[in-house]
Structure 1
Amino acid sequence: MNASEESRLAAAGSGWRKGGGPPSLPEVHKSMKVPLKGSFFRKMLAFAGPGYLVAVGYMDPGNWASDLAGGAMFNYSLLSVIMISNLMAILLQSLSARLGIATGRDLAQACRDHYSKPVSIGLWILCELAIAACDLAEIIGSAIALQLLFGLPLLAGVLITSVDVLLVLLLQNKGFRHIEILVISFIAVIIMCFGVELFLSKPEMGAVMAGFVPTADIVQNPEMLYIALAMLGATVMPHNLYLHSSIVQTRRYDESIAGKKSAIRFATADSTVALTIALFVNAAILILAASAFYSTGHTEVAEIQDAYQLLTPLLGTGAASVLFAVALLASGQNSTLTGTLAGQIVMEGFMNIRLKPWIRRLITRLIAIVPAVIVIGIYGEGSTGQLLIFSQVILSLQLSFAVFPLVKFTSDPVKMGPFIAPRWVRILAWIVAAVIAALNIYLLYGTFF
C-alpha cells in the first residue's frame, strides 16, 4: 500500500466522533482467510456464508404467519409486497456489508461512534425490542413445529427451545464456518420441503405471475396493508443490518483500497444470491397458502397449526403436512443461531458491554419467553398466529431506526472515503428509507385514529 492510499484510507475514518474500538465478535474476527490470488469462483466461495446467515432472518417463522395469512386472505395479490420487500432487503444489506468492510465498524458501533450517548442508548433499546420480537417468533415457530411433529404441548415446546443456547456455543467454539455450514444445510432442507409442497399444490402460474404486479388495493385496504407491513417487517429485518455489517468482517481480506472494494463486491454478490433464495421461500409459502386455502374457501387460515391440519386433506397426502412441519422446525432453529449473534453484536456495539455468549442468549430468550408464556396461558394456543404477525409489525415499526443511520453513514464521503455508495444507490436507499417511514406512520395513524 503506497502513501497516497494510506492517507485516503485514514481520511475515510476522520468523520467519526470517537475511535473505532475493538471489533465485535472478536473470537471470529478476521478468522477466515480470503485468497489474494485465484479464480473468481474460489474467491466467491471464500466470501460465501454471511449472506446466508442474513437470509435466515428473511425466512423465519414470523414470515410464515404473515405469508400464510396473506395468501389465504388475498390470494396471490401480496406476492408483489414480498418481491418489493426483498429488493429493498438486497439494497440495504449491500449497504450494511459496505459499511462493515469499509470502516471496520458494524452498524451498532458506527451509531455509538457518531451519535451522542442518549441517542445511542435509545437506538440500542429499540434494537433490543426488535431482537426480542424476532426471538418471540422463533420460539413460537419452533414450539409449534415440535408440537406438530411430536405432539408436545406448546408451552413445553417454548421451554425446550430455551436450551438451544448450548448448540450455538458449541458451534461458535468450533469456528464460524461450522455455523455457516449448518445454516446453509437448514436452508437446503427448507427449499426441498417447499419445492415438493409447490409441486403438490399445483398453483395457477398465470395468476402467480400476475401477483407480482403491485395494485392500489394494498394501500386502500387497511387489513391488507396491515398484513403487507407485517411482511415488510418480517422481510427487511432491522437486526440483520447490524448482523451483516459485523459478520462480513470474519473474512481476512486485503486491507488496501482495491482489496476492500473487491471484498464489497463479493460480499454484495453473496447476500444477493442468498436473499434471492429467501424470496423463493417466502413466495412459496404465500403461493402454497393461496393455492391450497384461498382457492378452497379456507380464507380464515392464519394459524400455522391450521395450515398443517388442512394440507393433508387438501393436497391428498400426509407428506404435505410433515414436510411443512420439518421446514418450520429448520426455519426456527436457523433463526435461533443468527439471533444469538445479532444480540451479541448489538450489545457490544452500542454499549461496549461484553457478556459471555450464553449469558447474552439467556437474557434474550427470557425477554421473549415471558410474553409467549403469558399470551399462550391467557388466550390459549389459538392465539399464536396473531402474536406472530404482531411481532413482525413491531419489527417493521423499528426498522426506520436502523435504516436511516445506515443510509446516512454510507452516503457520507467523510466517513466512507473512497468506499462511499454510488450515487444511484444512495438515491434509491433514501427513497426506500422514506417509503418505509411513510408506511409505518400510515399504519400508526390507522391503528390509533
Structure 2
Amino acid sequence: MASPGETGAASAELTTPDLGRSLPEVHRSVAVPNAGGFLRKFMVFLGPGYLVAVGYMDPGNWATALAGGSAFGYTLLSVALLSSLMAILLQALCTRIGIATGRDLAQLCRERFPRPVAVPLWIMAETAICATDLAELIGTAIALELLFGIPLLYGVVLTALDAFLILWLQHKGVRWVEALIFGLITLILACFVGQLAIAHPVWGEVLQGYLPQASVVTDSQQLYIAMSIIGATVMPHNLYLHTALVQSRAIGPDVAAKREAIRYAALDSSLALTLALVINSAILITAAATFHASGRTEVAEIQDAHRLMAPLLGSALAASLFAVALLLSGINSTVTATLAGQVVMEGFLRLRLSPVLRRLVTRLIAIVPAVAVTWIYGEGGTAQLLILSQVILSLQLPFAVVPLMMFAADRRRLGPLVAPGWQLAVGWAIALLIIVLNLKLILDFVLGN
C-alpha cells in the first residue's frame, strides 16, 4: 500500500503536462467507456497486443523455427515456450509504464538518461529495427517468389512498396490497423492448423519437447538456434512499440482508471502472445514432423522447406498453405516494424518523418545486405542471413530490457502503479538470463565453436 506522500508524488507525475505525444496520429484516439461490464471494456483495449504479437511470428521466426525443428526435432519447443513466457511478462511491464507515465520507452530513455547513455541506446534500437526489417524483407520476397514466380532480387526491391500500405492504414485509424492485423493473424493460424493436420506429428513427443533439456545450453549449435529463437520472440522494438500503442486509448487521469487500463492491456497482450506461441510452435512442429522425422536435418532454407513439403507429406496443399502464411506474416510484420521505427526515432531524437519516408529509409538500409547476399550466394544464403538477423536481435535485447526494468521499478515516478515485487524479480531474472546466454554465445564464437 502506497503512503499518502507516494500517492501525491505519483499523481503529480501522472499529470505532468505533455511534452510530446507518442504516435501522435493515434494518441488517445480510442474512447474508453466510463461504465459497462468486463467484456465491453475489454473489447476497447483489445488490439495493441495483437500488433505486438505480429513481431513474434514474422519471417525471422520462420527461419529459426524451421532450422530448429529440422535439426533437433521437438527439442527447442522448450525455448519457444520459455521465450513466450518471458515476452508475456515483459510486454505486461510495457503496458504498465506506458499507461502509468504517459511516455513510451524511447521518450523515457531520452528524458531519464544522460546523452552518452541515451545515444547508444538509440543506436542499438535502430540496429534491432534494421535487423527485423531485413528478416521481413527476405521473408516477403521469398513468399512472392514461391507464390508468383517473381525472382528473389526483384521481390526484395518490390517490398519497398509496402510503405504506401502503411500510409493508407494510418489514415484509416488505429482500429482499422488492429482489425487488419487480427484478420491476417487468424488466416496465418488457419494455414498452420491445416499444415499440422497434414503433417501428423507425434503429439506425445511434442509435449515432451516443451520440457527443458540441458543440451540446449551445452550444444553450441542448439544454443545458437535457441538464441535466435529468443531474439525472434522477445524482440527489442516490440518493447518500445507497446509502450506507445497503449496510449492510443483515452484513459482517465486518475490512478484507479490507469490501474484498470493496465489490467485490461496486460490481458490483451497475454492472450495475443499466447496465440503467437501457438503459431510459432506450429512452425517448429511442422518442421520436426516433416523434415527431422524423415532424416532431413539440414533444412533451413524456406525455399527448400516449401519444395520438400509436398513430396514428403504427399499433399500440394501443405506447400501452398506454407507460402500463403509466409506472405501474410511478412505483410503483417511490415506494419508493426514501421510503427516501432517511428516510436524510436521520435522518442529518442524528437525527429518526425513521414511514415513513407521513414519506411523507405529503413527498407533501403535492409535492402543492401539482402541484395548482396542474394547476388553472391543466391537463395542458399538467405536462411543464414535470416537466422543471423535474429541473433542480432537477441544481442540487442538487454539494451531494451534493462531500461524497461529500471522504469518499471521506479516508485518515485510510478508511485502506486509501480510493478509488483514478483514481476520485478522475474523480470530482472529474465534480463540476467538473456545477458548470460548472450555472453555464452559470444564466448562460443570467440573459441570457434
Place the TM-score, normalised by the shorter chain, in its bin.
over 0.9
Q: Name which of 197, 205, 222 aligns with 1:224.
A: 222
Find out whether 1:310 has 2:311 as its counterpart.
Answer: no
Residue of structure 2 in register with 1:423 after alignment: 421
Instruction: Tell me the amino acid that sits aligned with residue 426 of structure 2.
Output: L
Find out whether 1:364 has 2:365 as its counterpart.
Answer: no
**Do 1:31 and 1:250's aligned partners in 2 also have CA atoms closer than 8 Å?**
yes
Corresponding residue SS for 2:397: helix
1:5-404 matched pairs, under 5 angstroms: 7-12=8-13, 21-404=19-402
Q: Distance in 2 between matches of 1:110 and 1:301?
A: 43
Instruction: Tell me the amino acid that sits aligned with residue 38 of structure 2.
Output: F
Find out whether 1:412 has 2:410 as its counterpart.
Answer: yes
Report how far residue 19 of structure 1 moved.
Answer: 7.7
Report how far residue 8 of structure 1 moved.
Answer: 4.0
Instruction: Tell me the amino acid that sits aligned with residue 277 of structure 2.
Output: L
Instruction: For structure 2, list consecutive stretches of 5 or more residues without a partner in the other structure.
Output: none
CA deviation vs aligned residue, 1:211-231 (integer Å, no higher than 9, x gap): 000010111100000000000
Instruction: Tell me the amino acid that sits aligned with residue 393 of structure 2.
Output: L
CA deviation vs aligned residue, 1:101-128 (integer Å, no higher than 9, x gap): 0000100001001101121111111110
CA deviation vs aligned residue, 1:308-354 (integer Å, no higher than 9, x gap): 00110111111100000000000000000000100000000011111
Q: Distance in 2 between matches of 1:276 and 1:100?
A: 21
Report how far residue 12 of structure 1 moved.
Answer: 3.9
Q: Distance in 1 between matches of 2:75 and 2:17?
A: 48
**Do 1:234 and 1:395's aligned partners in 2 also have CA atoms closer than 8 Å?**
yes
Q: Distance in 2 between matches of 1:314 and 1:350?
A: 50
CA deviation vs aligned residue, 1:249-298 (integer Å, no higher than 9, x gap): 00012221100000000000000000000000000000000000000011
Q: Distance in 1 between matches of 2:185 and 2:242?
A: 18
CA deviation vs aligned residue, 1:220-243 (integer Å, no higher than 9, x gap): 100000000000000000000000
Residue of structure 2 in register with 1:443 after alignment: 441
Instruction: Tell me the amino acid that sits aligned with residue 10 of structure 1.
Output: S
Q: Distance in 1 between matches of 2:14 and 2:183?
A: 38
Q: Distance in 2 between matches of 1:129 and 1:20?
A: 28
**Do 2:14 and 2:100's aligned partners in 1 also have CA atoms closer than 8 Å?**
no
Instruction: Tell me the amino acid that sits aligned with residue 384 of structure 2.
Output: Q
**Do 1:19 and 1:113's aligned partners in 2 also have CA atoms closer than 8 Å?**
no
**Do 1:103 and 1:416's aligned partners in 2 also have CA atoms closer than 8 Å?**
yes
CA deviation vs aligned residue, 1:58-95 (integer Å, no higher than 9, x gap): 00000000000000000100000000000000000000
Report how far residue 181 of structure 1 moved.
Answer: 0.7
Q: Distance in 1 between matches of 2:370 and 2:236?
A: 21
Query: Following superposition, which runs of at least 4 residues in structure 1 exceed 2 angstroms of deviation?
Result: 3-14
| Percentage of matched positions with identical amino acids | 56
Q: Distance in 2 between matches of 1:334 and 1:171?
A: 12
What RMSD in Å do the two structures reach over aligned CA positions? 1.4
Corresponding residue SS for 1:152: coil
Report how far residue 7 of structure 1 moved.
Answer: 2.9
Instruction: Tell me the amino acid that sits aligned with residue 279 of structure 2.
Output: V
Query: 387-396 or 249-258, which moves further after superposition?
Result: 249-258
Report how far residue 382 of structure 1 moved.
Answer: 1.2
Instruction: For structure 1, list consecutive stretches of 5 or more residues without a partner in the other structure.
Output: none
Superposition TM-score, scaled by structure 2 size:
0.97
Corresponding residue SS for 1:94: helix
Corresponding residue SS for 1:380: helix
Instruction: Tell me the amino acid that sits aligned with residue 438 of structure 1.
Output: V
**Do 1:145 and 1:328's aligned partners in 2 also have CA atoms closer than 8 Å?**
yes
Q: Distance in 2 between matches of 1:153 and 1:248?
A: 40
Corresponding residue SS for 1:255: coil
Q: Distance in 1 between matches of 2:7 and 2:227?
A: 45
Instruction: Tell me the amino acid that sits aligned with residue 288 of structure 2.
Output: A
